[in-house]
A and B are shown apart, each in its own frame.
Chain A
């Protein structure tokens, strides 16, 4: 089975724990990380509004690209630390679209994705707990999707 794990910079460990639950025999793991290019477009729009050419000055743009690349490599290395031997895929663009396209190209049998990047230990259940990237992948994936929610038993029982 070919399992594509979606990294977001905060979820290497929880994703690896989910893969442990799957049958290890014949499991091919792929790690994907997408550099989100949305902020670049936002910066370009802001520059155009102030009557400047869309692209920032070359030195600043180079610095932005270098930092993005270094951060992506670091996140993928972190993923490999938990899932050694996994294949790695690095893309750039809109994360949600790149993930579903990569899943189709890589012939993934299963996508594992977390609801959203979690920057603290407090996980909330309820509406909007699934971010726009995971929601898009759930809606458009070419294969089954496993939503890896964090353990959250302390928030139960919920109101009946």
Chain B
């Protein structure tokens, strides 16, 4: 619209900022429980309609993020097809077998399994696929369900910065600010191990009473029962090992990780179709297509805000707040990303921070790395604070509980408030020490 009418630049800036802020508030509050994708795409559509971003710019923004889109597709495909093979059920039963009747050892094994799955298949697979699998297992074993459920949900995020592929947030950030694998591991591996240790330790302390018992191994389902098709299962197993190796090699060679994910998912799909273990339609149903709309909408909204210079100002403010020191960069980056991720969810926060980090490019390399590592760390681990999604969801749950309506998400929040600040502080201090 404003392409046809002459409007002062300041007015355009104000309107673009207003639409951007409105979109973020919409994502935070989700009026009428609208899907976030509708809100993000609505914001992007309004900006396009008003001419505050040209269709060409919007298209080029989306093309620039091809690696992120493809990675999400490959990651969801890999998880869905591995689940179809019964891999997650098989791994959970193996974890129980290795526990030798002891509840505490099974609890530890669930943490280790969650770490392994998050590391290779990303946090989505642990939170969404492993959690119900573990729920079924511990219900069969007549063990207390909540500690195991919380273990899965928390470790999904706690173990999501072991490798760049462990969380799609890392891919969003690293697509704009590439880091070689060695630098990534140098900055993130030790903090990962430390926060995983803290998470496991605190959970053992919190649930020590529930984990004292034993379970009867005869309640365990036979291993063969978990495997639906032996050949496809072996095929999946081998393909995933290949994908894990390829991820490491591709990270080292700076080859796009999305191509590995999509390639691996395609190879699994061929096997699933050949052995009739899934169909294209079934696999398609397991993919959250709305997430692409959400990321696309957010990318366009943030791009138009970027044009107003607001995100650059935000980046400069972060740099100023950090005092230009590595300690400040890590602390400000971690706190900002973690708080923002609980306000507006981690994907929009990662997109906003990625745009803002453009302004710290003139800072010394150690400060840049500090901001980069802290942003990934805060966006990956931050969701554990509220876990249910965002502070808006927590507030919504509080209102429901006050009205006497059945809610359970607050139980997560109570644990998250204890565990997450400690992990954030310990991890941030370790990153600073490693810089």
Contacts and interface: CB of A to CB of B under 8 A. Distances in A.
B86 to A, nearest CB: 11
* B: contact size bracket: 35 or more
A17 interface: no
A127 interface: no
Contact of A119 (B103, B294, B388): B103
B162 to A, nearest CB: 19
B49 interface: no
B36 interface: yes
B409 A41 contact: yes
Given A46-B127, A49-B387, A67 B213 contact: no
Contacts of A97: 406
Given A46-B131, A48-B389, A120-B213, A67 B136 contact: yes
B136 A9 contact: no
Contacts of A45: 387-389, 393, 408-409, 412
A143 B201 CA distance: 42
Contacts of B128: 46-47, 50, 52, 56
Interface string B295-338: 00000000000000000000000000000000000000000000
A51 B36 contact: yes
A51 to B, nearest CB: 5
Contacts of B358: none
A147 interface: no
A51 B139 CA distance: 26
Contacts of B153: 42, 46
A64 interface: yes
Contacts of B389: 45, 48-49
Contacts of B288: 50-52
Contacts of B37: 51
Contacts of A56: 128, 132
Interface in B225-249: none
Given A36-B145, A122-B212, A43 B103 contact: no
A38 B127 CA distance: 16
A39 B153 CA distance: 12
Nearest to A51: B291
Contacts of A94: 406
A81 interface: no
A50 B411 contact: no
Interface in B103-124: 103, 124
Contact of A64 (B132, B213, B290, B409): B132
A42 B408 contact: yes
Contacts of A70: 140
A43 B136 CA distance: 12
Contacts, number: 102
Contacts of A119: 103, 143-144, 209-213
A38 B408 contact: yes
Nearest to B36: A51
A127 to B, nearest CB: 13
Contacts of A68: 139
Contacts of B36: 51
A38 B411 contact: yes
B131 A117 contact: no
B286 interface: yes
A4 to B, nearest CB: 22
A157 interface: no
B407 interface: yes
A63 interface: yes
A123 B408 CA distance: 27
B186 interface: no
Contact of B408 (A9, A41, A47, A122): A41
A46 B103 CA distance: 24
Contacts of B17: none
A120 B142 contact: no
Nearest first, the 5 A-B pairs at minimum CB distance are A119-B213, A120-B212, A49-B389, A38-B408, A41-B408
13 contacts: A38-B146, A42-B149, A45-B389, A46-B387, A49-B127, A49-B393, A51-B288, A52-B128, A56-B128, A67-B139, A67-B140, A119-B213, A124-B209
